[in-house]
Amino acid sequence: MIVLRSVREIDSIRKAGRIAALTLEKLKKHARAGISTAELDAIAGDEILSHNGLPAFKGYKGFPANACISINEEVVHGIPSARKLSNGDIVSIDIGVKYKDYFADAAVTIGIGAISEDAKRLITVTEESLNAGIDKAIPGNRLSDVSCAIQSRVEANGFSVVRAFVGHGIGTKIHEEPEVPNFGRPGTGPRIQQGMVIAIEPMVNAGSFEIEVLKDGWTAVTKDRGLSAHFEHTIAVTGDKAEIMTV
């Protein structure tokens, strides 16, 4: 069932989203060559708690960390560790926040030091595809209009959209209905309505869309070991447009 949220509920999600945004901004400042992903994870946890939020991912289905931090060919769900970032890496950081019983979810991909032109283009196109999807999240459209806009932007630039993971509804749980794929034909799926809150999150591979999960049971990597990028915003449909909650 898709839950349409009240103004009060959306305000709580907006506050959770602001904490997620502040946390990502802090992590972007600290993400540099030589820092470990475990150190970044500790910074994420401290920042979320400092704003009276809770890290939504820690303990979720057994996930052991505050943030998902995925490097290069890692698509999503990378587990923070002693591994240190290096110049030329691209790093995807995914943050979930709980604030007063409501959730928000956001992700960003950044480059460490000097990165390749191909990596820069992958990051740019992935963020552009997120924005293209958000532009379609308006009352009267279908959810697949969001999906198609993302896929079209990605594939027009020669990249591929991951099929195994999708966006989702969000509110009093981190993952709710509906699923929001990043691919599909326009004009199908649930109608977008005021009060709908969803997390839109394109995951885009430089090569094939195929992925596999490593032996840790969490880290998803590209099957061809090409680069992958990930951007995400939690948005609420308010009035005649989508409002980004995670800014």
Please indicate, yes or no, if residue 42 is contained in any of the structural domains: yes
State pLDDT tens for residues 55-92.
Answer: 999 999 999 999 999 999 999 999 999 999 999 999 99
Which residues constitute the domain of residue 228?
A: 7-244
Arithmetic mean of pLDDT, 186-209:
97
Please indicate, yes or no, if residue 1 is contained in any of the structural domains: no
Distance in angstroms (rounded) separating the CA atoms of residues 76 and 245: 21
pTM to 2 decimals?
0.97
pLDDT given at position 77: 98
Distance in angstroms (rounded) separating the CA atoms of residues 205 and 16: 29
Distance in angstroms (rounded) separating the CA atoms of residues 101 and 39: 27
Distance in angstroms (rounded) separating the CA atoms of residues 167 and 156: 21
State pLDDT tens for residues 108-124.
Answer: 999 999 999 999 999 99
**Could you give the angle at the alpha carbon of 187 between the alpha carbons of 181 and 188, nearest 5°?**
55
For the domain that residue 120 is a member of, what is the CATH number? Answer: 3.90.230.10
Domain count, the chain: 1
